[in-house]
Amino acid sequence: MTWVALIQSGSVSQASRQLGISQAAVSQRVKLLESIFGTALLDRSSRPARPTAAGDRLFQHASSLLGGVDEMMDGVRRISRSKMQIVRLGCTDSFAAAGGPIIIRALSSTAHQIRLWSGSTDMLESSLQQRQLDIAITPIDDEVVDGIRKVKLFSEPFVAALPASGDWKKLATLTDLSRSLPLIRYAARSRNGKCVEQYLTANGDTIERTCEFDTTEPLLGMVATGLGFAITTPLCIWQARHHIPQLKIVPLTDFHRKGVRYPSLSRTFYLSYRESELGPLADELRNLIVQAFSRQVNPDIVAALAFGKQDAISVAI
């Protein structure tokens, strides 16, 4: 440490102040090092004295070793602190169905207590800002909130879920479809509901309002029994996957108006947290989620929904 301080500071006097010892003590330690290595470490013929080739090599090795010690100490302190944490994490119901077990396994080695909440996006984001949550995973727009960092996880498309028993080979507009099969909506107050309504309006579709639901289970239950169709997402369908055999999943881009295909519609999930409080734990969790959804969850959903080569989930790299 003395040698590194001497070379970095450039003088014995500055090194002594940095180390909190006398200049004589610094000089004595340098002479002791030269005695141990059996070679001169300082070229004292120059003013100021400069390290010899051997001194340069010692500085490189010593700096590397000290850096490793600092990293080790930080790691030990981080593990000690994280083991004392109660990690409070919130995510939407659709994410919890696929990602909940992944998160629990990831956090079980770094936290004594794990509290996993599920609920609406607005409720979770509000809870994070009010410090009732440490981490939130939600499909919210990438808006800036003071003190909160948002990291992109993945995106997923909205799709049309139709009863499997019908003949849906000739699809035109969503309005045309609604004349023979009512649209079962998410509630207008929900984020999914608002997103779908904006999409319909942008594409010139005016569809009568019939049934609306806050959650996916009853919505897909209606579709599975042939009472209508819905616009939802792969993760929402996966949440109620026992209905999949009674559903036909159609990309929105299969619909068209006067030969022009409908544009795609998607939502993006973010991991939100207060960076100053979680440190590297959030990055580790983000990397785990990305890998798990890319390698396990997405292939399972693609196979179950018969998406072919199309990805249900587009993972952020």
**Angstrom distance (rounded) from CA 258 to CA 242:** 36
Please tell me whether the overall predicted TM-score, pTM, comes out greater than 0.95 for this model.
no
pLDDT tens, 31-58?
Answer: 887 787 788 888 877 777 788 888 788 7
The residue among 103, 118, 144 whose CA lies nearest residue 282 is 103
Domain 2-81 shares a fold with domain 159-264? no
What is the maximum alpha-carbon separation in the chain? 96
**CATH class assigned to 2-81:** mainly alpha
Q: Is pLDDT above 80 for 280?
A: no
- Which pLDDT score, from 0 to 100, does residue 174 have? 95
**Angstrom distance (rounded) from CA 130 to CA 31:** 59
- Which pLDDT score, from 0 to 100, does residue 142 have? 59
Least confident range from 1-10, 127-136, 160-169, 181-190: namely 1-10
- Which pLDDT score, from 0 to 100, does residue 317 have? 44
- Which pLDDT score, from 0 to 100, does residue 101 have? 80
The β-bridge relationship of strands 185-186 and 212-213 is parallel
Confidence label for 171 from pLDDT (cuts 50, 70 and 90): confident
Q: Where do the domains of the chain lie?
A: 2-81, 85-149+273-296, 159-264
pLDDT tens, 52-100?
Answer: 888 788 778 777 765 655 554 454 445 445 454 677 888 998 888 888 8
DSSP line for the chain = -HHHHHHHHSSHHHHHHHHTS-HHHHHHHHHHHHHHHTS--EETTSSS-EE-HHHHHHHHHHHHHHHHHHHHHHHHHHHHHHHT-EEEEEE-HHHHHHHHHHHHHHHTTT-SEEEEEE--HHHHHHHHHTTS-SEEEE------BTTBEEEEEEEEE-EEEEETTS--SS---HHHHHHHS-B-EEPTTSHHHHHHHHHHHHTT-------EESSHHHHHHHHHTTS-BEEE-HHHHHHTGGGGGGEEEEEGGG-EETTEEPPP-EEEEEEEE-HHHHTHHHHHHHHHHHHHIIIIIHHHHHHHHT-TTS-S-EE--
Give the residue-averaged pLDDT of 172-194.
92
Q: Is pLDDT above 70 for 178?
A: yes
- Which pLDDT score, from 0 to 100, does residue 84 have? 44
For the stretch 243-247, contacts whose Cβ atoms lie closer than 8 Å and that sit 24 or more positions apart, written own/partner, are 244/304, 244/305, 245/164, 246/163, 246/164, 246/165, 247/161, 247/162, 247/163, 247/164, 247/220, 247/223
CATH entry, 85-149+273-296, from 3.40.50.720, 3.40.190.10, 2.40.100.10, 3.50.50.60: 3.40.190.10
**Angstrom distance (rounded) from CA 283 to CA 275:** 10
CA 15 to chain centre: 44
Give the residue-averaged pLDDT of 217-227.
95
- Which pLDDT score, from 0 to 100, does residue 314 have? 75
- Which pLDDT score, from 0 to 100, does residue 285 have? 82
- Residue 240 · residue 96 · CB < 8 Å: no
Least confident range from 79-83, 170-174, 283-287: namely 79-83
CATH of domain 159-264: 3.40.190.10
**Angstrom distance (rounded) from CA 114 to CA 120:** 20
The residue among 275, 248, 70, 257 whose CA lies nearest residue 168 is 248
Residue bearing the bigger pLDDT, 142 or 129: 129
Which tokens in the block code for residue 290?
A: 């990305």
- Which pLDDT score, from 0 to 100, does residue 88 have? 85
Of the chain, the percentage scoring pLDDT greater than 90 comes to 29
Question: What is the chain's mean pLDDT, rounded?
Answer: 82
Cα four-point dihedral sign 12, 13, 19, 25: positive
